[in-house]
Chains A and B, each alone.
Chain A
Amino acid sequence: MLALPCPHCGTRDEAEFQFGGEPAIRPPSAVTDTVWADYVYMRSNEKGPHRELWCHAGGCGQWFVLTRDTATHAVLP
């Protein structure tokens, strides 16, 4: 069971959260298909420290970014 830090509510069980993917910045709409595909589909999918979006969906609804080690599941500072 993960315990994740909601910036608003504090540490809560994983069941209250929804994973939201790797944070990315949307490119301007006039870009090539390759650049767009890269933004929409390609992922770094790191083993180890991984920056990721989460939403406290079953709680206050806050979105936040955290760094988590995907090999150990430890939430990193």
Chain B
Amino acid sequence: MSRTPFRTRYSAAGLLRQGLAGQTGWGEAWRAPAPKPRYDFVIIGGGGHGLATAYYLAKLHGANRVAVLEKGWIGGGNTGRNTTIVRSNYFFPESAALYDHALRLYEGLSQELNYNIMLSQRGVVTIAHSHHDMELMARSVNAMLINGIDVELLDAEGVHREIKIANRDPDARYPIHGGFVQRRGGIARHDAVAWGYARAADAMGVDIIQNCEVTGFRFDGARVVGVETSRGPIAAGRIGMAVSGHSGVLAAKAGFKLPIQSYALQAMVTEPVKPVLDTVILSGSTGIYCSQSDKGEMVFGAGLDLYPSYAQRGNLPVGQTIIAALLDMFPRFRTLKLLRQWAGIVDVCWDYSPLIGRSPVEGLYLNCGWGTGGFKAIPAGGWLLAHILATGQHHPISAPFDLNRFTTGRLIDEAAGAGIAH
């Protein structure tokens, strides 16, 4: 693979030089170009998936006239709002191939992008709360092992060895019965993923255009040939769309519907404390997941607000349920103050699997439907959409995730399979 032509390569020596110079000489990490009238590839949405798509188009497919159009600021959507759990412990072989491709790309990404994405493979422990949970979990773990994913089943003591501060009370509403761990799972720095891809794409000539909202499509007969934007029309050879919660809004502008409903997903952080939790925990029964950030905050969330929403907040009843679930697992967190609560609008497909591939309209391609769990998939989502845009063909990994599965009935039902959706 060729070296990315960064204007400034980041390095320890550079950090030292800048430190001595009072951090005054860093320069911009990417340009702020005005939109050109025409590109070979236009990517709508400057979240992780859109930026990664542009990067891989330039890096792997030699595309040199690429633009990313972002209505706000890059990473300001779900990519910058998510709780950053990465893992590939999925039930179905199609999903395992997809998410493990992503995890493997993540493992080399800091080097590749010359940008520290702070990938911390601290392990992800999923908890079982009853004998029945445990039996289902053993079945899932077997499926994952057959998929080639590094998972281990744990008994209750095994869980307590991983999570020292978990509730040991057998009379807890959700007692710990056992669990399983994926040790290659963990967390990464969300902004760094967006910014790292943006900087590397920019270095290869991709125009990243912020404050540029796509408001409609231009057609030549049945084919999409460009977009209308808040900064004027832009013609395009092929268009990729990676706008997560707003997929339905853009699909309507192009004249089709998607098997997607948009919901608010909320998360919260507590005040920072000293290190007490050095892994990621998830519970299928309560929906709760939690990790401790490098700053010391407990970062946690759980299920969706279960009605359609484009309001980026999150309702109080679900918020209370999330906090109750956290405190059941970690009673000592009762004394922590809540620092922030927020929500993102997520694009949920009926089978909790994404849509990658052609849209019903010629010239327009999809990367959406990641719902509550697409941060972990960013490198793969971008890599695959770039492949499809450049070649016009599916890669074997993306083929099962085509929109046509909703007509053929070959759904990949991870809501039932993997249990937890993040």
Contact = CB atoms under 8 A, between A and B. Distances in A.
Contact of B248 (A14, A45, A72): A45
B311 interface: yes
A2 interface: yes
Contact of B306 (A19, A33, A44, A52): A19
Interface string B244-270: 001111001000011111100000000
Nearest to A20: B307
Contact of B311 (A15, A52, A73): A73
B407 A34 contact: yes
Contacts of A34: 407
A9 B258 CA distance: 35
Contacts of B262: 45, 47, 70
Contact of B308 (A38, A40, A41, A52): A52
A70 B311 CA distance: 7
B11 interface: no
Interface in B309-326: 309-311, 315-317
A76 interface: no
A30 interface: no
Contacts of A44: 248, 252, 257
A37 B410 CA distance: 12
Contact of B249 (A15, A40, A47, A72): A47
Interface residues of B, number: 25
B406 A41 contact: yes
Given A15-B317, A19-B306, A37-B406, A45 B261 contact: yes
Chain B contact residues, majority secondary structure: mixed
B408 interface: yes
Contacts of B252: 44, 46
Nearest to A33: B407
A33 B252 CA distance: 21
B259 A42 contact: yes
B403 to A, nearest CB: 10
Nearest to A19: B307
B316 A1 contact: yes
Nearest to B260: A45
A45 B308 contact: yes
A4 to B, nearest CB: 10
Contact of A47 (B260, B307, B310): B310
Contacts of B248: 43-47
A41 B311 contact: no
B92 interface: no
Given A47-B248, A71-B310, 5 more contacts: A2-B307, A14-B315, A37-B259, A42-B406, A70-B310
Interface of B: 246-249, 252, 257-262, 306-311, 315-317, 350, 406-409
